[in-house]
Amino acid sequence: MPDVAFIALTVVVFAALALAVRGVERLVGSALEDERVEAPGEGQGAENGVRR
Amino acid sequence: MSTATAGWLQAGLLVVALAVAYRPLGDYLAYIFTTNKHWRVEWGIYRLIGVNPDADQKWSTYLRGVLAFSAVSVLFLYGFQRLQEYLPLSLGFPAVPADQAFNTAASFATNTNWQSYSGETTMGHLVQMAGLAVQNFGSAAVGIVVVIALIRGFIRSRTEQVGNFWVDLTRACLRLLLPISVIFALVLIAGGVVDNVAAAHPVTTLAGGHQVIPGGPVASQEAIKELGTNGGGFYNANSAHPFENPNPVTNLIEIFLLLVIAVSLTRAFGKMVGDKRQGYAVLAVMAVIWVASVAGISYFESGQHSAAAAAAGGAMEGKEVRFGIPASTLFTASTTLTSTGAVNNAHDSLSPLGGGITILNMMLGEIAPGGTGSGLYGILILAIVTVFVAGLMVGRTPEYLNKKIRPREMKLASLYILTTPALVLIGTGVAIALKGEQAAILNPGPHGLSEILYAFTSTANNNGSAFAGLSVNTVWYNGALGVVMLLGRFLPIVWVLALAGSLAAQRMVPASAGTLPTHRPLFISMLLGVVILVVALTYFPAQALGPLAEGLH
């Protein structure tokens, strides 16, 4: 019984963290689109800036 | 040689050793996370787990990887402890109680290594080696890869991709932590640290008494314990135990190990952003705080404020005579500023104000130099807050490393700064308010408050050291502190990786005449000011009621 309780507690904490990810995704989700709107005409052909 | 001279010599040797390692290790760190070449053994791991190593991930996918890996780690370690009695090398120990197993699993998977158990009387060798030590590698690697993803956020533009979590994790373990740990495990064995898989040896002492001496795979875990800023001791006495830390030389090596990656990461940061001065600036802030902490704790511990201290030449209660005060305070400041939590003396026996500094060190958010990776991402968040404050002063949109700091970034930075104090202060308040948990306090008055405050500060900041004097092996404390460790570790990581994604999506903004230079002394002093004003003062009322009240009494 205590095992079920503590495994459930672990699952609940990580589920809450997953929910936080969803919430933050909404906040950050449009960042790339916002950037494209701010800088029109620099999309295709411009360097994509990806560096390792 | 006088004790003070020995202290200065040890601190000097430590700084020299860190300076020697700084450039090669920092450059190597940058190389590990920027090269496109995979090792053959890494290919095997990627095939095994079904990962395409050349496919970068969006920040949220990277974050889900961190959480999934950590959740599985917690559950695996929990099961390992609960099944201990059926496993080989269990030394006859029964299963770890459920609440303690949860606390320990959360603790080791979050790089905290808070221990509500005594290692030599609770854990068998297999759980120590294949359970706890594995998490020492995994949790340290997670901290490193998160800051690497944040750095990529600064240097990439118009993308949502911040790297591949599984590739970064594999490289951090195989190319960095494992080889250095193997080398230093051998060095520690040569220095006298034990390493075997023997059971406890019953012996007869010279006085005719009987004693049981526990052996175990200590040196192999000691290296990663310090290198990964984990801190969980094989023995209950941790690095005060002569089998874990036999002499001043091994003591110095252990302090070096717990600082070296966090310090060198600033070099890797400067190299990856293309301006090494940025790394030096961050390192300067870390160094000022570290020096101030070492000096402060040494001052209060060397003071002869009582007859016992005057007779012993300082506050020697709880300290190993083979280390003395300087080697103890050097260790204490370094371990509480790095989220390591290993101890070579009893922190509960520190003088009130010396103990207060250890709590303050952790309250700063473990940033000087902090845990592996977590220290650097913590101070980079504060750097963002600093440029924001500077931007408010002059009425310009703040920029840091060619990226604008807009409301979105500031919301995430604010969430980061608020998360840990909320966990510490609410947790401490609830613990004090509960009648049943008040019985866990073994010392009355301000010192009792300090003990609870220390417990929640240590766990929320993923340090793991304990003040003792608080009976934390109860169902409530094991559960509450376990949850605090998980939230204190992973909520800030959520904000940091979201910030990385937000920054990576931006285009680079060329520096202009109005851009605040972030490598000059002005910025360094401003960042120090933000650390003190924004972070330290958050906790001032709690400090005033605990260590300050006791120290000024």
Determine, for residues A31 and B502 on separate chains, whether the beta-carbon distance falls below 8 Å.
yes
User: What's the confidence (pLDDT) of residue B274?
Assistant: 97
Determine, for residues A17 and B491 on separate chains, whether the beta-carbon distance falls below 8 Å.
yes
User: What's the confidence (pLDDT) of residue A38?
Assistant: 64
Min distance A49 CA to chain B CA atoms (Å) = 5
Min distance B306 CA to chain A CA atoms (Å) = 47
Determine, for residues B479 and A25 on separate chains, whether the beta-carbon distance falls below 8 Å.
no
Q: Which of B34, B78, B98 sits opposite A52 (nearest CB)?
A: B34
Domain extent listing, chain B:
3-552
- Chain mean position to CA B330: 16
ipTM comes to 0.94
Q: Does B406 touch chain A (CB under 8 A)?
A: no
Residue A13 token pair:
């904490």
Neighbours of B430 (CB within 10 A): 14
* Residue in B110, B156, B170, B160 with CA at minimum distance from that of residue B484: B110
Q: Does B411 touch chain A (CB under 8 A)?
A: yes
Residue A42 has pLDDT above 50, yes or no: no
Q: Which of B105, B159, B494 sits opposite A48 (nearest CB)?
A: B159
Q: Does B148 touch chain A (CB under 8 A)?
A: no
Q: Whole-angstrom Cα distance, residue B442 to residue B470? A: 6
Q: Whole-angstrom Cα distance, residue B324 to residue B316? A: 7
Q: What is the pTM of this model?
A: 0.95
Residue A47 has pLDDT above 60, yes or no: no
Q: Does A45 touch chain B (CB under 8 A)?
A: no
Chain B window 164-203: which residues touch A at a Cβ cutoff of 8 Å? none
Min distance A45 CA to chain B CA atoms (Å) = 13
- Using 50, 70 and 90 to split pLDDT, how confident is the model at A40? low
Average pLDDT for residues A10-26, to the nearest whole number?
96
Determine, for residues B508 and A49 on separate chains, whether the beta-carbon distance falls below 8 Å.
yes
- Using 50, 70 and 90 to split pLDDT, how confident is the model at A39? low
- The residues, any chain, with a CB within 8 Å of residue B399's CB and separated by 6 or more, are B387, B391, B405, B509, B511, B515, B516
Domain extent listing, chain A:
2-37
Min distance A26 CA to chain B CA atoms (Å) = 10
Q: Does B19 touch chain A (CB under 8 A)?
A: no
Q: Whole-angstrom Cα distance, residue B499 to residue B506? A: 11
Low pLDDT (below 50) residues in chain B: none
User: What's the confidence (pLDDT) of residue A44?
Assistant: 41
Residue B487 token pair:
């939230």
Q: Whole-angstrom Cα distance, residue B106 to residue B485? A: 7
Determine, for residues A51 and B71 on separate chains, whether the beta-carbon distance falls below 8 Å.
no
Q: Whole-angstrom Cα distance, residue B67 to residue A15? A: 10
Name which residue leads in pLDDT, A24 or A37: A24
